[in-house]
Chains A and B, each alone.
Chain A
Amino acid sequence: MNARHKFLIGSGIIIATLLALAYVGFTQSKTYYHTITELSTLQGASRHQRMRVSGNVRAGSIEHVSNRVDFVLTEQGRDLPVSYVGRDPLPDTFKDGAQALVEGKILPDNHFEAEQVQAKCASKYEAAPVGTTPAAPQPGQTSTGAAGRPSGN
């Protein structure tokens, strides 16, 4: 068996190991993205998936209860009550009206239990949302960074 064959076998072993690790890592962390509207249509196994949902924080709905933060996400007219139970502080950009992405699972009572919350307003790299004219200064529009990463890049 020449060196080339040995190398190929070695590579094969390495790749197989990595694929196995990748598979385990994948199943441990895979997260489905659903809209709030879709959530009500989920049944059976897909209700138990780890998932991400995005929406806007309804103004006035943020409540800090003892070990968690409750709020309501809305999108296209539908509401989703969320409880954030994670340990990290909420991102600085999380407030009324912010666009938020929550990750966790949906409970049997249609309440969403979030382990992670990311919140953000449109970054400067994106086109301004339709309906805003440059003439009107938009204080909320210029923020960046949620659990906050820089928009600079």
Chain B
Amino acid sequence: MDILGSFALLLAFLAAVYAVLAGIAGIITRRTLLTKSARNAGMAVFVLVTIAVACLEYFFFTNDFSIVYVVEHSNRALPGFYKFAALWAGQEGSLLFWSWLLSIYAFLVLFLNRKRHPELMPYVGVVLAGVQTFFLTLNNFVATPFRVLAGPDNAGVMHLAKMSEGHGLTPLLQYPEMVIHPPMLYLGYTGFSVPFAFALAALLGRYPGEKWIHITRRWTMIAWCFQSIGILLGAHWAYAMLGWGGYWAWDPVENASLLPWITGTAFLHSVMMQEKRGMMKIWNVWLVFTTFMLCILGTMLTRSGVVSSVHAFAQSSIGSWFVGFLIITFVVCFAAYWKNRDYLRSDNQLDSLVSRESSFLFNNLILLAACFAVLWGTLFPVLSEWVQGSKISVGAPFFNKVNVPIALFLLLLTGVGPLLAWRKTSFDALRRNFAWPFAGGVLAGIIGFIWGFRDIYSLLCLILGVFVTLTIASEFFRGARVISARDGTNIFTSMGELTMRNTRRYGGYVVHFGMVLIFIGIAGTPFNKDLQKEMGVGESLRIGPYTILCQTFDHIETNNYTSQRATLEVFKNGKSAMMLFPERRLFRASQITETMVAIQSSPLRDLYVVYAGESPDSGKPVIHAYLLPLIKWIWFGGIVVVLGTGLALLPNRRTALVLRPATERSWAGTLAESTPAIGAVARRVEGHD
């Protein structure tokens, strides 16, 4: 089976190479047969990589410990769900998994567009096949998943070997959330190849600018959505499982996943400028190129160990392959841009600072500033070593100092942007649109200040959050009121109708609202409290409105682990509210310790209790309790963002066609052809966007 798997991978590699070469030949010679053949080869890659993945999974499920990768990541007792997920637990398997997801996207893109855009698709096929060729090179020649165990006998002759048991999957990964996190992120990373391919293809083929954006809009949103889910799952896992009370540490690998998300967000917004006003063409093309390159950089940072992070201390040579691919990609992109740059001339200019274009420009500016800051901070140790010889790293204060003001400004733009008109907004319109939301925001700020919110950033976040929410609400309300007056339906039905007529716009507003919730959740951070105390039986700890009483503590033994556990009773304002059981587990096989955090989560705050250890003198448990306000808003906001994206992906409900019968055949039948429209067709308008 390993031979089947390896062979399938090799064939996939050859198919990808063929797709590139035949595709290029088809474009140059304009022979559709070559183009079709190239497309079929591109689709065949998916089938072949699927076979390879199936082979590897087969080894996991049959406990075949003659394969090195299976030995390293599985054992007999591992539940089936985790055996499946062990596929992406290590370097070789996760690269195979990456290739597989990429091939799924490529297959879908080629298949769904097989009868459309015949001038563009050949180029798209070549670019996608090129990217696939790189990853398949890694799969076949650099990080092969099907290596077999072999050892020398006494005479020095190598023989195939087989273990009776594997090392098992690290317990830290044996959680459903941790299993889903990499696939989501990979779907995001690989998904950004699609808009990249279309952008490069459109540039190379000099295809009409707005059409390629229109085609890729949904693909970009899908990739962005997966990336968002992946990032939030990682943050939630870190929060719930690692016991330090936080969810984001500006670790290089975390930053690596954030970078393409930032440029992807900028891209999703700036394309609207190109669609509506033919502006920013060069910018958009480079933005999507950069997003793709950041995806490659991201996976390189994670795998190569070039920047020290809690994820990786050691060095690996695979980084040089990624650097090589990045250089090739950049050269190709730049060459394509240079050759065709006159085709990217803007149709229009910026007319006024008080316009939607301006808000998009500022949106892009600060998102790129954030991206640059995070990239700079992440790569600083590498750069400083080159320049100065000493490795200097920067920590959370740097990232927070720059990104918090950026985030707040972004929040402001989120409220202001949609209410500004294209080209120029009149002063009257400004006053009308902003008066109430602005007043509401300021009012919320005053209430917050009186209530004790003194941290300036949190206060600003509150004011802006309320401001944005009110602008979103006013958008829904005003549109719905028009429909309601015309159709006589109630306001909520009208809101539904309004949304379905322009899902992209109103789905986008829902996403904005989700981001507001996330920001408010993050704004609770300055008000975190924590307390650590040794607590024997009967001792208690007070934090906020809670009193935590240690009722008992004990040791548990199971066949996987031994555990130290505390049984705590929590009183709120004097009344017994709940029981919490924080634990500290030691897994026998791997000798790994894991903290089982006890969290009681409510919309207002999370009570987060950690069994920090046993006091070395008295043997009493050391309990570390945290009070973390508003954390739940982050996860809830994340769900709203995903739902909003789903909404925005839905096709618009078309307005009704009113048809009159084409009866006018009295003049020489030609009238039917020359009559442009049969009856009154209400054109589907993309809203007053």
Q: Which residues of A contact B (CB under 8 A)?
A: 3-4, 6-7, 10-11, 14-15, 17-18, 21-22, 24-26, 28-34, 52, 54, 64, 87-90, 92-93, 95, 99, 101, 118, 120, 122-127, 129, 133-135, 137-153
B237 and A139 within 8 A (CB): no
B590 and A143 within 8 A (CB): yes
- Stretch from B388-396, B426-434, B440-448 contacting the other chain: B388-396
Which residues of A have CB within 8 Å of B78? none
A118 to B313 Cα, complex, angstroms: 11
A124 and B72 within 8 A (CB): yes
Given A3-B353, A135-B149, A149-B238, A31 and B394 touching (CB < 8 A)?
A: yes
A56 to B402 Cα, complex, angstroms: 34
A-B contact count (CB 8 A): 230
* Nearest A-chain residue to B369, judged by Cβ: A18
Of A31, A64, A90, A149, chain B has the most CB atoms within 10 Å of the CB of A149
* Nearest B-chain residue to A31, judged by Cβ: B393
A22 and B401 within 8 A (CB): yes
B72 and A148 within 8 A (CB): no
User: Would you give the 0/1 interface string for B285-325, flagging 1 where the beta carbon is closer than 8 Å to chain A?
Assistant: 00000000000000100110100111111111100000000
Which residues of B have CB within 8 Å of A134? 68, 71-72, 149
B182 and A152 within 8 A (CB): yes
In the complex, whether B151 has a CB less than 8 A from a CB of chain A is yes
Out of B68, B181, B369, B401, name the residue touching A150 (CB < 8 Å): B181
B591 and A125 within 8 A (CB): no
A2 to B594 Cα, complex, angstroms: 61
Out of A10, A127, A141, A145, name the residue touching B316 (CB < 8 Å): A127
A33 and B393 within 8 A (CB): yes
In the complex, whether B612 has a CB less than 8 A from a CB of chain A is yes
Which residues of A have CB within 8 Å of B163? 135, 137
* Nearest B-chain residue to A135, judged by Cβ: B151
B351 and A3 within 8 A (CB): yes
Out of B90, B238, B592, B616, name the residue touching A92 (CB < 8 Å): B592
B308 and A88 within 8 A (CB): no
Which residues of B have CB within 8 Å of A99? 313
- Give 19 A-B contacts (CB < 8 Å), ordered by A residue: A7-B361, A10-B362, A17-B405, A21-B405, A22-B398, A25-B402, A87-B532, A92-B243, A120-B310, A124-B170, A125-B312, A142-B590, A143-B172, A149-B310, A149-B311, A150-B173, A150-B311, A153-B185, A153-B234
A147 and B353 within 8 A (CB): no
A29 and B398 within 8 A (CB): yes
B167 and A29 within 8 A (CB): no
Which residues of B have CB within 8 Å of A101? 308, 313
A148 and B308 within 8 A (CB): no
B173 and A126 within 8 A (CB): no
B469 to chain A, nearest CB (A): 25
In the complex, whether B257 has a CB less than 8 A from a CB of chain A is yes
Given A33-B390, A122-B313, A125-B312, A149 and B254 touching (CB < 8 A)?
A: yes
Out of B149, B310, B365, name the residue touching A148 (CB < 8 Å): B310
A125 and B358 within 8 A (CB): no
Out of A21, A24, A122, A140, name the residue touching B314 (CB < 8 Å): A122
In the complex, whether B251 has a CB less than 8 A from a CB of chain A is yes
A24 to B612 Cα, complex, angstroms: 34
A126 and B398 within 8 A (CB): no
* Nearest A-chain residue to B354, judged by Cβ: A3
In the complex, whether B400 has a CB less than 8 A from a CB of chain A is yes
Given A29-B397, A89-B610, A152 and B88 touching (CB < 8 A)?
A: yes
B392 and A147 within 8 A (CB): no
